[in-house]
Structure 1
Amino acid sequence: MRLKTFAMTALIGALSLPFGALADVTLSTSNHPDPVIDAEVSSFIDSHVTQILEHERASVQALETDAIARILANFKPQAKPTPPLKVEYTKSFLAELPQATGGEALECLTEALYFEARGESVKGQFAVAEVIMNRVSSAKFPNSVCGVIQQGTGKKYQCQFTYTCDGRAEVIHEKSAWNRLSKIARLMLDGAPRRLTEGATHYHTTAVNPRWARIFPRTASIGVHRFYRMPRA
């Protein structure tokens, strides 16, 4: 009976300590090499441990839902970067692609490629598209595809792309060429790599020799087109 009374007294004292301090408490209740705690003491221990666990569970459940959401938000996985588009400068590659669809930007870019480069190789057509997209990315030009293509339109031979101000109507006679060029336009609008012209913002055909071409650094020659980058200050 003394063993039980002493054990219960010691346990009550220990449980009155902070919960984390229990690991530092060592109880010695008897000199007997095999001390035994009877059923009443065991039941007492189980009861108090259960109370402590229930208290901890209630504390966790009391956390506000939005606080938990904020904590979990820090562990959301990062979105994987989109891999670059794979492009081949061949008609067979384009033939495997689905028909291009899109809005005004696709229409404008396809039209420019049709009237400016449909007689070029696929590589040359991509290069002309690069120039247009490089202009869209430059602060020196309008910031939209249609804005770039239509810049200066309305003043004969003062536009940026001759077909928009030569006084002739834009009529599409080669539907297959239009469909193929629309796929190039779609790829470029979707972020295809611009690796052919080294950042060129200007081009001309070999049929003309504009004065600015004597000053602008040439970056590439593809088919009948010559590509240039504006001089850096």
Structure 2
Amino acid sequence: MSKLLKWLAHVGVCIALAIPATAQAQNPRAAAGGPERLIQAKAGGTSNASLKCLTEALYHEARGESVKGQRAVAEVILNRVDHPAFPKSVCGVVNQPKQFSYKGKVGKMRDRAAFNRAQKIASEALAGAPRNLTGGATYFHTTYVKPSWSKRFTRTTRIGAHVFYRRGGQRIASN
């Protein structure tokens, strides 16, 4: 049964990734580019590596959050990809030293439902879902800590157990 669920999840992701490509082929204006394609290109597209890295980050950093909270964390990671101070790929951002609390401290992703939800949210984010939850945030922390760096940034919002920040005066990308 586990193999069947894994296969179905894989097929679902493949279909989700193929739909934007099919829509592009049917719409010549979409094939020419546009803001959605630009955002996908900056985020590293929808490669398997990007999907895996973003899913892992969402699972470990925000699995107890609402869908909105997980989308907000995905937004921060993609905002970092677009920001010149951070690596230019999803995996580069997620694997950057000392940026995410779960790195090196957790085991496998054992909660199948949480994994599937995180993977769906990651796939949607990489496919160009709107980033309108965090006000351009590139940083976040949980409400039970108060890091010293938070004083240097502009607080943009709180969603669930996370508080979001951006650098002061930073241009906010909208899509």
TM-score, with structure 2 as normaliser: 0.70
Q: Output the amino acid matched with 1:109.
A: L
Which structure is higher in strand share? 2
Find the counterpart in structure 2 of residue 174 from structure 1.
Answer: 111
In the aligned structure 1, how far is the partner of 2:65 from the partner of 2:28? 39
SS in 2 for 1:227: strand
Structure 2 unaligned residues grouped into runs of 5+: 1-26, 37-45, 171-175
Find the counterpart in structure 2 of residue 164 from structure 1.
Answer: 103
Q: 2:78 aligns with which of 127, 133, 141?
A: 133
Q: Output the amino acid matched with 1:212.
A: W
2:134 paired with 1:197? yes
State whether residues 84 and 191 of structure 1, in contact with CA within 8 Å, keep that contact through their aligned partners in structure 2.
Answer: no
Q: Note the 1:69-88 alignment, pairs <5 A.
A: 79-81=28-30
Q: Note the 1:13-52 alignment, pairs <5 A.
A: none
The ranges of structure 1 where at least 4 consecutive aligned residues each deviate by more than 4 angstroms after the TM superposition are: 82-85
Larger radius of gyration: 1
Q: Output the amino acid matched with 2:99.
A: Q
Find the counterpart in structure 2 of residue 186 from structure 1.
Answer: 123
Q: Output the amino acid matched with 1:79.
A: P
Q: RMSD of aligned C-alpha atoms?
A: 2.2
TM-score, with structure 1 as normaliser: 0.53
Structure 1 unaligned residues grouped into runs of 5+: 1-77, 86-100, 153-158
Q: Deviations over 1:55-75 (max 9, x none)?
A: xxxxxxxxxxxxxxxxxxxxx
Percent identical pairs in the alignment equals: 53
Which structure is higher in helix share? 2
In the aligned structure 2, how far is the partner of 1:114 from the partner of 1:206? 18
Find the counterpart in structure 2 of residue 207 from structure 1.
Answer: 144
Find the counterpart in structure 2 of residue 88 from structure 1.
Answer: none
